[in-house]
Amino acid sequence: MSELRFDALRGEEVVYAIHRQERTFLPSREHCPLCPTHPGGPKTEIPFPAFEIAVFENRFPAFEAPRGAAEVIVYTDSHEGSLGTLSPQRADALMWVWRHRYAELGAREDVRYVLIFENRGVEVGVTLHHPHGQVYGYPFLPPVPQHELRADERLGGCALCSLLAGELDDGRRLVYESQAVAAYVPYAARWAYEAHVVLRTHRASLVECDAGELRSLAAALQALVRGYDALFDTPFPYVMVVHQAPTTSAAGEAAGGGHVHVEFYPPLRAAGKLKYLAGSEQGAGTFIADTVPEESAAALREAIALAA
Ligand SMILES: [Zn+2]
Ligand SMILES: [Zn+2]
Ligand SMILES: [Zn+2]
């Protein structure tokens, strides 16, 4: 069981999940816990010889009922590949799985915020290479979604709608466009190749998206990941998070705000060069970037077109 402590100096929760120290660390391919269980072979987390997408509770959870949730979403039964190399049908199915996990966990009284995310690459601390993502159901509203809700208040409406309009109008940082989705390196990107993938129509969560929008979102995410991999001709590490509206609180109050978007934070600032969070970022909370968003966007746009 993990423990929550409130950091009174920062005004933020800290989660102690000490059992996570024991979790499987970069197992060999034969001992991958996310591969299917083959007859006669070692038992994995998934007791089937084949599967499409698998969801199960994290064995080393940061959160668990009755104080939140932590799940693993395995994208494929194939050990190799990435979000970018899934078939379009599988990527589309993954959006429906995301939608379902958001709806189900979000309906729980002990879940205040559902965060779907993927850590890719050892650079961001990945312990299993098999293509997969995770879902956390936080029993409180974490700081980043809080910031986004405050942005809605400050801008007097949906912040994402207004930022998207600005990016479409400016155009220099756009990297991908389709009928339902646009992707851009944000005006004030923290990471050199940070990208936000945004539904053009205001949708508070994936539950509000229609089938065409989910398909477009999957296609945009795949195009972006393939473009990332093409950028330096190497599997590109990133942290990917899906931001949606907070869900109902334990007090039963209605949740509001949010506009579905997916944020990518890649730690590479150049081929083979990692950005570290150091004095200014950690001590002041101020990012110092050494690249210009317009230039990274131009390079990323080209890479996406090349990889298409
Ligand atoms: Zn595997
Ligand atoms: Zn909006
Ligand atoms: Zn966001």
Nearest Cα to Cα of residue 122 among 242, 235, 265: 235
Decide: 243 and 260 in contact? Cβ < 8 Å.
yes
- Determine the Cα–Cα distance for residues 17 and 134; give it in Å rounded to an integer: 16
Q: How far is the CA of 131 from the centre of ligand 1 (A)?
A: 8
- Determine the Cα–Cα distance for residues 255 and 33; give it in Å rounded to an integer: 36
Q: How far is the CA of 121 from the centre of ligand 2 (A)?
A: 31
> What residue numbers bound the domain in which 219 lies?
3-307
pTM of the model: 0.95
- Determine the Cα–Cα distance for residues 267 and 269; give it in Å rounded to an integer: 6
Is 132 designated active site?
yes
pLDDT in tens, 155-192: 999 999 999 999 999 999 999 999 999 999 999 999 99
Q: How far is the CA of 77 from the centre of ligand 1 (A)?
A: 7
DSSP letters for 152-202 = HHHHTS-HHHHHHHHHHHH-TTEEEE-SSEEEE--TT-SSTT-EEEEESS-
CATH number at residue 277: 3.30.428.10
Decide: 77 and 90 in contact? Cβ < 8 Å.
no
Three-state secondary-structure class, residue 284: helix
- Determine the Cα–Cα distance for residues 28 and 33; give it in Å rounded to an integer: 10
pLDDT in tens, 213-227: 999 999 999 999 999
- Determine the Cα–Cα distance for residues 194 and 215; give it in Å rounded to an integer: 22
pLDDT at 28: 80
- Determine the Cα–Cα distance for residues 221 and 127; give it in Å rounded to an integer: 23
- Find the catalytic residue in 129, 132, 196, 261: 132
Three-state secondary-structure class, residue 5: strand
In the structure, ligand 2 is a single-atom ion and the residues with CB under 5 Å from it are: 158, 160-161, 202, 259
Peptide bond into 47 cis (omega under 30): no
Report how many domains make up the chain. 1
pLDDT at 125: 87
Residues (pLDDT < 50) of the chain are: 250, 252
In the structure, ligand 1 is a single-atom ion and the residues with CB under 5 Å from it are: 32, 34-35, 79, 130
**Single-letter amino acid, residue 172:** R
How many Cβ atoms from other residues are within 10 Å of residue 70's Cβ? 22
- Determine the Cα–Cα distance for residues 284 and 19; give it in Å rounded to an integer: 31
- Determine the Cα–Cα distance for residues 51 and 48; give it in Å rounded to an integer: 7
**Single-letter amino acid, residue 200:** R
